[in-house]
Amino acid sequence: MADFLDIEALTAGYGDAVVLNGLSLSLRRGRSLAVLGRNGAGKTTLIETVMGHTTVFQGAIRWQGADITRLPPAERARRGIGWVPQQREVFPSLTVHEHLRVAARPGPWTADAVYELFPRLRARRRNHGGQLSGGEQQMLAIGRALTTNPTLLLLDEPMEGLAPILVAELAAAIGRMGQGGLTTVVVEQHPALALAMTHDAIVLERGAIVHAGESAALAADGPLLERLLGVPAVTAPNRDGPPSTPRRISVP
Ligand SMILES: Nc1ncnc2c1ncn2[C@@H]1O[C@H](COP(=O)(O)OP(=O)(O)OP(=O)(O)O)[C@@H](O)[C@H]1O
């Protein structure tokens, strides 16, 4: 047990359907985790279960020592678990700045800190959500989650559908969030990207963990990646740990 986030023999799904099958996982504070797996493996279901949006049939979720298995999503959020869903859920009629105030809680992640992380958002602060590009909406969704000052942030396919330049920008930002002390869990379709920005990785298959280890080791093992995910070897990540980032940018 890590006493941060502990998932114990969890069986969960939607309605009567079981998706996660006796899954156990311990997350350590300050260690970012990539959740990999083929389509339908249960990646999204895992983070939706941590947030309380699925049916839990068996097992338990402990957060900082407390059993949160039956707590409603809002209470989990209040206790410091942040979530950026795949759908982004940016409000078309609120401005960027309003998004960063609407759910804000005290802590280092103020609107200004978010603007420092995502300068594009500062330039767009008076624009409405509906006027933003897909990449800007994603940055805003992450920024809004950060302003709740979570201890753990769950990101569901944050790079999906973004142009390569924005993917690089977001990956660097997620790396900086980790350096600022936030623990992140990133669900990602592209192993190279996910492994380069995280400390540890798990691979899911049919709702169970079939591999767990350090991201760098998995990234360096082409045959294993091929077997687990059906992808050829990926570019090895930075050996010094999760992504190197420009030092001039400060984080809270
Ligand atoms: N709301 C839902 N109701 C019923 N079944 C669902 C629901 N969402 C997902 N599922 C099913 O749960 C299984 C796992 O889906 P999940 O979205 O967790 O996979 P994933 O690994 O995130 O895949 P992808 O990479 O395609 O998003 C799939 O069989 C899917 O059809």
Residue 248 predicted with pLDDT over 50: no
Instruction: Tell me what the mean pLDDT of segment 103-107 comes to.
Output: 92
Q: What is the ipTM of this complex?
A: 0.95
Residue 155 lies in a domain: yes
| pLDDT for the residue 239 | 40
- Collapse the DSSP code of 165 into the 3-class scheme (helix H, G, I; strand E, B; otherwise coil) and give the result: helix
What is the residue-wise DSSP string for 194-216? Answer: HHHT-SEEEEEETTEEEEEEEHH
**Which tokens in the block code for residue 154?**
């769950």
Q: In which domain, by residue range, is 105 found?
A: 5-229
- 17 in any annotated domain: yes
How do 183-187 and 152-156 pair as beta strands? parallel
Closest Cα to atom 2 of ligand 1:
14
Q: 169 near 138, Cβ under 8 Å?
A: no
- The reply to whether ligand 1 has any atom less than 6 angstroms from the CB of 14 is yes
Is 188 a domain residue? yes
Ligand 1 center–CA 13 separation, angstroms: 9
pLDDT digits (tens, 9 = 90+) for 173-212: 998 888 778 999 999 988 998 999 999 999 999 999 999 9
- Taking the mean position of all CA atoms in its chain, how far away is CA 180? 15
Q: How far is the CA of 44 from the centre of ligand 1 (A)?
A: 7
Residue 32 to residues 27, 130, 243, Cα–Cα distance (Å):
8, 31, 11
**Token match 């359907």: residue?**
17
Residue 251 has pLDDT above 60, yes or no: no
Q: Which of the four pLDDT bands, split at 50, 70 and 90, describes residue 235?
A: low
In a domain, 58, yes or no: yes
Alpha carbon separation from 148 to 101, 151, 210 (Å, rounded): 9, 9, 33
What total of structural domains would you count in the chain?
1
Bridge partners of residue 200, in order along the sequence: 33, 214
236: three-class secondary structure by DSSP: coil
170 domain-assigned: yes
> What is the CA(38)–ligand 1 centre distance, in A?
11
How does pLDDT run across 121-133, given as a tens digit for each residue? 999 999 999 999 9
Place of tokens 């977001």: 170
Is 169 contained in some domain?
yes
DSSP code string of 96-154 = HHHHHHHT--SSS--HHHHHHH-HHHHHTTTSBGGGS-HHHHHHHHHHHHHHT--SEEE
Token pair, residue 126, equals 């008076």
- Report how far ligand 1's centroid is from the alpha carbon of 202 (Å): 17
Q: Does 242 score more than 80 pLDDT? A: no
Max Cα-Cα span within the chain: 51
> Does ligand 1 lie within 6 Å of residue 87's CB atom?
no
Which of the four pLDDT bands, split at 50, 70 and 90, describes residue 236? very low
Q: Is the CB of 44 under 6 A from ligand 1?
A: yes
73-95 confidence digits (pLDDT tens):
999 999 999 999 988 789 999 99
- pTM for the model stands at 0.90
118 CA from centroid of ligand 1 (Å): 30
Q: What is the mean pLDDT of the chain?
A: 89
195 lies in a domain? yes
Task: Give the CATH number, domain containing residue 211.
Answer: 3.40.50.300
- Kindly state whether residue 216 falls inside one of the protein's structural domains: yes
**Rg value, the chain, Cα:** 17
Atom of ligand 1 nearest to the CA of 45: 18
Distance CA 19, CA 34 (A): 19
